[in-house]
Structure formats: structure tokens, C-alpha cells
Chain A
Amino acid sequence: MIQGVICGKGGQGVITLNAMIGTLAANMGIPAVSAETHGMAMRGGSVATYIKIGECLSAAVAEGAADFIISLTKDEALRNINFIKKDGVLIVDTDQPFDLTGVKIFSLPASDIAEREFGGRIYGGQVLLGIFLGCFDGIDTAKALEILKTAPKISIAAIEYGVKYAQTH
């Protein structure tokens, strides 16, 4: 089982990113459960979502148990850092460095890159998704990309950028 936290600020597309990963898992025939927060928290506040991929009933991630955190801001990554386990993977959209040890960090200004390379900041999330797909041995990256084939071309390009980034960093 792989479990993690996907977080950011309200309105950044955190929920969409979480649902993309879950849908991908479902289409790969792997069970998955996620949990989101809607409502008041979405008006620019902190949004944290959870996902467990594998056999389980709930999406509740315990502290120190997350295999990964994907965060659309540095602050939200830090706010949820208590969830990550030793040697877990931290994937963050930021141009700031982290003062943090004990985890594997992929930090890059994904939205800026997406704006430059793919013409829109919104594809930053897909870049992070690509890194996620590329950095876990447990995920069949080739199969995932095969399933994603029907997605819009730009999305695929952004995801592939992320996969490559993960494989070369």
C-alpha cells in the first residue's frame, strides 16, 4: 500500500490532483480511498487531502506514516510534515530551499515551469503528478502513462516532464 498527503492552498487544484491519482489507480485496477475537505477551508485557507492506494477501508493517514507528500506550496508541505515517514518522498512546488533532513525532497517551481513550457500555471499539478509516478518503484509508470493516453496533450507533456524529472534527480 502507498499512502500520502496532497495539500496546498484553497483554489490551487489540490482536490483535482488527488482525484486524478485515485482515478488513475482505479483504472489500473488498484483499490484506492481518498479524503478531501470542502467548504470554508477552500476560501484560500489550507487544504489537506489524504489518499491510500491499496487494500484498505479508510483514507486516514497516521502521523509518521505517509510515503509521500505532494504540496502545491512550501508552507503547506511544512504544515503537514508530521505525516511523512522517515525516507518518505516530499514533492513540492516552490523555488525556496528546504531546511529539512530525513526525507527525499523533489522541490521545483512547477507552476513557473508549467507556465513557461506548457503555457499555463495550472499544469504545475501535472508536473508534480509526473514526479510522483516516476519516483515510486511500486507504481508501473509505463502502464500509468498508457492509461493517461486519452488525457489532453499538454497534460501528458506536463506529466512526462515530471516523470523525467523524477528519473534524473
Chain B
Amino acid sequence: MVNGFFLGNELIALAAVNSGVKSAYAYPGTPSSEILSAFQKFAPERYAQWSLNEKIALELASGEAISGSSTLCCMKMVGLNVAADPLFSVAYTGVDGAMVLVSADDPGPYSSQTEQDSRMYAVSARVPVLDPCNPQDAYRLTMLAYQISEKYRLPVMVRPVMRVCHSRQNFMADDFSAIPIRETILSGTFRKDMPRWAATPKFRRILHEKLNKNLDFLAAEMAPKIPEKRYDMAVVASGYAYAMAKDVIDEMNLPFDIIKVDMPFPLDRQFVIEAEMVYDRIVVLEETFPVIEHNFTIKTEGRLTGLVPSEGELTADIIADILLKTAGITRETAKAGITVNESPVNLKPRLCAGCGHRPAFYAMKLAAPNGIFPGDIGCYTLGVNLNAVDTCICMGASITFAEAMKRSNPDRPVICTIGDSTFFHTGVAGLTNAVVNSAPIVVAILDNETTAMTGFQPVPHKTGKLTIEQACAGAGVKHIVNADPYNMKKGVEALKQALAYAHTDNAPAVVIFTKECVTKTRYKNKKTAEITDACTDCTICYEKFECPAIYRDKAKRMAKIDESACIGCMVCIQVCPQKAIGVKK
């Protein structure tokens, strides 16, 4: 036994390993990414795959589970939008082995486009969903999810929020090598069953009916326990909101009973009726949508009544305010006695010093000063700081938006940016569409040879089995050029030529900017750049170009380079209009 301090994501992976999972599939996305890496770490002999996208991951996990195996599939909630198609269908067919889908939510949001609630998908697809409150609970509920999946032959969702994925907690873990390997881990046994696995609409209705019955049994089996009554008011909560509410109630001694809901859907009707009978007032706390709350009809407050804010993450302070208000207690201010006479300088996230994306964005601005620049999802979304990302909608939408923007704004050049991983995720289909429909756009593929944003997961073209050029050519693109982003002049030229080609040939052109992520490789040139007295403090290098290694020396009124941060890409030298930057001797 080892007493460790584990991430929620690690304990989800450990539970999957201990439940006998044969294969795990995922596409990286904050806050879910560490689950598959941990699975690989805990059980290197089992199969783990970073799939090209979430739909593919879920179909592979489902296919194996339909073959009698036990599988794990992980993604972030916006990935579930991509994977929704197989989810809804597999909910009806069920599985023959076991399958757990982990969809991690990001209330806040901290690293996402939306605050959507994966549990709403579970409700609408009719898939049971478990909502863990902290890392230890995530272990327990993932184990339970596999038991439910095996018993009812249904896919089961586990929905941790970011605060569960990225919390750490003490946990006594077994020695991993001692985990017994079961038969199912080794191979599946596909049993043909056409009315089920290839159901026509007529059979689908039958499957739906069976599913509904199963869900009723499961709801009853998993009904939350009403505790011995101490107060007239109760908090009904799930997930991280439960953990916070429990701590707040204990620490502040508030007059509420608290009921934990492990499984927000399906929720037992009988439990709801009983709770409404036992208590005078019920406060429902959950993130981010009122999934549990919708089951209650009387005496209940929460998001639907405006007591709980409808957007943003719940915090200990928000929950304390809600409960104090409900209980009619006024809170004494604890902060009196501290005086602060200064305020912090604001920090915004920026591309790393020496990142290849920065000069690529800068080149785009130079090549097309009045251009429209649809962007995509990854580190390079930070191109907004350089005014070179005009839209950011969802994975792959840079290319489709480029086609659309060009059609709406035919007189303006359109250059979109998409990362290598995102390109293979959903970019290829958009690019094919642009070719087929003669869109005169330039697609700049920012190839950093990794999935950097989420922790450097591998990318398809680094397997040596295919290249980005081949994928573009396969999509029908005729103009494909490579450019080194560190060479600004050539980068601008490549983009200008691509724009010219796109307009004369009425077809998309691709420029691939390749520079391996310097943060992943920890690249550092032996030489750094240096700023001379010729600097006129024009602000370009530290504001417009925004290299984090360059700052303004207020006293000297000139730019300065922080040598410990400078990695020596020497792009700033090409950017400075005064030729005030050189290589340090």
C-alpha cells in the first residue's frame, strides 16, 4: 500500500484499472487529459489510445464493449458534443461488457468555450450519470460505474467537474502490480445479435422500452438516503457542490441536513417525494445546470428560483451566502483588520517566449493587414493578444469559418489558423469541404508537433505513418508549402503567395508553419538577444509582438530582455523597426 496524494484524474484511471478495463480511449482536453496518461502509467500492459477525436474514441470504446470487453473513454464536455452521436445510439443498444464514459466539465469556465453540463447529455441520451465530489469519491464512483455497467449492460457516464479532476487528495493505493488480470482484459467475445447491435427503427422502440425499465430499477437501487432528521431544512447536492456545502455546513454549524446524490440521473421518484414530505425547505446545489432540481416540484429552491447563480463556478463563499440567506442568519465580516494599500499588476496568459506561433501570427498580420483571421482551439487561441485571431468557436471551426467569412466578405483576404492536433481532429473534413466548394482561403497550419495546451499528448503525423502534407493533398489541396516561423520574411512571402494562389485558382492554399513546441523540448539557444541604445521605445517588441522575455525598463525608457527567459529564437531582431536588437555577443 502506498499513501499518496493523487489527482482526481489519476484515481479515476486507477479505478478503471482495478475494475478490469481492457482498453481506454481518449482525446485530450482540459480538465480530462490526465486520465488516459495515468491509465497508461498504472497499467502499461493494457491498451490505451489517443484517438483523433472524441467521436472516434467513443465509437472504439463502444465497439469493444459491445464485443464483451470492459472499456474506458475520456473527454472534456465539449468533446462530448462531438461524440454525442454514438452516445445516444449506444444508450439504446447497451453493451455486452462494460463501458464508462468520463466527461469532465469546466464550470467557470477556466479552459473552455462553454459551461455546459454533461449530465444534461446523460439525461437526454438516457445514460446513467455519477457525479463525484472529490478524488476519493471519484475512485469510489468510477468503481461503482463499472459495476452498474456490467450489471445492467448499459454505458455509464462519470461526470467530474474541473475541481474534482484537478484536486489532489490523500489515498491509500494498492501496489499496482498486484492487480489481478481478468479474462475480459485479454480479449472480447462478440456475440451476433442483429436486432440489438444493428437495430432497425422497429427494434429501436423495443430497446428504448427495455432501457426505460432498466433505468427505473437502477434509480430505485441507487436512491439517495434520507438521513435521520435533525433540521427542517435540507441541502440536496451532488458533485463538488456537495463537498463544498458539507464543509461549509460543518465549519459554520448551519441548520441543514445534507443529502448526497451520487447519481443525478436517473433519480428515484420515491426519494424526491419523500424528501419533499420530510423537509420544510430544500436547497439544491449542483453544477452547472438544474438536473436534480428539475425533479422537485415543491418546497425547493436553487437555480430555477434564482437562489443559486445561473452562471460561473460555485465557490465556498457563494454557497455560504446561499445557506446563510436561506437560514436567515447574517454573517459577521471576518476581514476587518487587514489593510492593503497596493494593488497587483494584471497578468494575462501569453504564448511562451520563443513559441513558433507568435511569428506565424505576426507574419499573417504583415501579409494581410486588412485580413480576417478565424482561429481555433489550442495554445494558439492566444493569438487574440496579437490581434491575429478574430473568431474562436469550436474544434475545427477555423477552416469552415474561413470559407464562410470569405463568402460573406469576398474583398478581404482570409487566413485561418489551426493547430496540428486540431487539424486531424476535425480540420480535415472542413478543408475537404473548402476544396470541393472552391473557397479562396489560406489555411495556416501551426504545427508544433504535439498537443501542447493539454500537456503534450502525441499527434498523428509524428507516428511516421502519415504527414500533414499528405492529409492536405488527400483533401484535394494543390498549393501546400512549408515555412519556418522563425524566418519572418520567408513566412510573409509564403503567405502572400498562398493568398495570390487562392485568388487566381479559386481554391484553398495551405501554409504549414512547423516549429516544435519549445516548452515541450525545453529548447534554449546558447545565445540570447540583446537590445542596444538604438531602441526608441516604440513598444512593438514587448507590446505588439509580446514576447514575455522582453519588458519595458521604465527608468531607461527602453525595452529590455530578460536573459533567463529569452530562448534565443532571434525573431525579435526581425521585428524591431529600429534594428535595435541584436544577438548578444
Q: B342 at the A/B interface (Cβ < 8 Å)?
A: yes
- Interface bits A13-37 vs B (CB < 8 Å: 1, else 0): 0000011001101110111111111
A18, A58, A103: the one contacting B243 at CB < 8 Å is A58
> Quick one: closest B residue to A80, CB to CB?
B344
Given known contacts A33-B168, A34-B168, A46-B347, A64 and B334 CB-to-CB distance under 8 angstroms: yes
Given contacts A22-B5, A58-B243, A82 and B349 within 8 Å (CB-CB): no
Q: Which chain A positions have C-beta within 8 A of B250?
A: 56
CA distance A65 to B345 in the complex (A): 24
Q: Determine if B133 is an interface residue (Cβ-Cβ < 8 Å).
A: yes
Cβ of A102: which chain B residues have Cβ within 8 Å of it? 337-339
Please determine whether B338 and A103 come into contact, CB atoms closer than 8 angstroms: yes
Select one of B5, B248, B337, B548 contacting A86, CB under 8 A. Answer: B337
Taking CB atoms and an 8 Å cut-off, the chain A residues in 93-114 that contact chain B are: 98-103
Q: List the 7 closest pairs (A to B, CB-CB), nearest first.
A: A39-B111, A102-B338, A39-B30, A45-B349, A58-B243, A26-B170, A57-B243
Closest Cβ neighbor of A88 among chain B residues: B338
- The reply to whether the CB of B351 lies closer than 8 angstroms to some CB of chain A is yes
User: Least Cβ distance of A55 to chain B in Å?
Assistant: 9
CA distance A62 to B258 in the complex (A): 20
CB interface residues, A 55-82, toward B, < 8 Å? 56-65, 74-79, 81-82
- The number of chain A residues with a CB under 8 A from chain B is 57
Write the B171-182 contact mask toward A (1 if CB under 8 angstroms, else 0).
Answer: 100000000000
Whole-angstrom CA separation of A42 from B519 in the bound complex: 12
Q: Return the CB mask of A114-142 against B: 1 if under 8 Å, else 0.
A: 00000001000000000000000000000
Contact call A44/B168, Cβ cutoff below 8 A: no
**In the complex, residue of chain A having the shortest beta-carbon distance to the beta carbon of B454:** A39
Q: Can you show 9 pairs from A to B with CB atoms below 8 A apart?
A: A22-B169, A27-B3, A31-B170, A35-B167, A52-B247, A57-B134, A60-B163, A60-B240, A65-B334
Chain A's closest residue to B334 (CB) is A64
Complex Cα–Cα for A76 and B134 (A): 26
Give the interface of A toward B (CB within 8 A).
Answer: 9-10, 18-19, 22-23, 25-27, 29-46, 52, 56-65, 74-79, 81-82, 84-87, 98-103, 121
CA distance A39 to B31 in the complex (A): 8
B317 touches A35 (CB 8 A): no
Q: Is B316 an interface residue (CB 8 A)?
A: yes
Residue of B with least CB distance to A23: B5
- For B335, give its contact among A23, A58, A61, A82 (CB under 8 Å): A82
Interface residues as binary, B127-163 with A (CB distance below 8 Å gives 1, 0 otherwise): 0000001110000000000000000000000000011
Q: How far is the CB of B566 from chain A (nearest CB, A)?
A: 14
What is the 8 Å Cβ interface bit string for chain B, positions 335-364, against chain A (1 contact, 0 not)?
Answer: 111111111110111111000000000000
Contact status A37-B338, CB under 8 Å: no
One of A36, A57, A84 near B168 (C-beta < 8 A): A36
Bound form: Cα–Cα A79–B336 in Å:
18
Does residue B231 face the partner (Cβ distance < 8 Å to A)?
no
Query: What separation, in Å, do the CA atoms of A22 and B240 have in the docked complex?
Result: 19
A86 touches B334 (CB 8 A): yes
Alpha-carbon distance between A75 and B345 when the two chains are bound, in angstroms: 6
Q: How far is the CB of B308 from chain A (nearest CB, A)?
A: 15
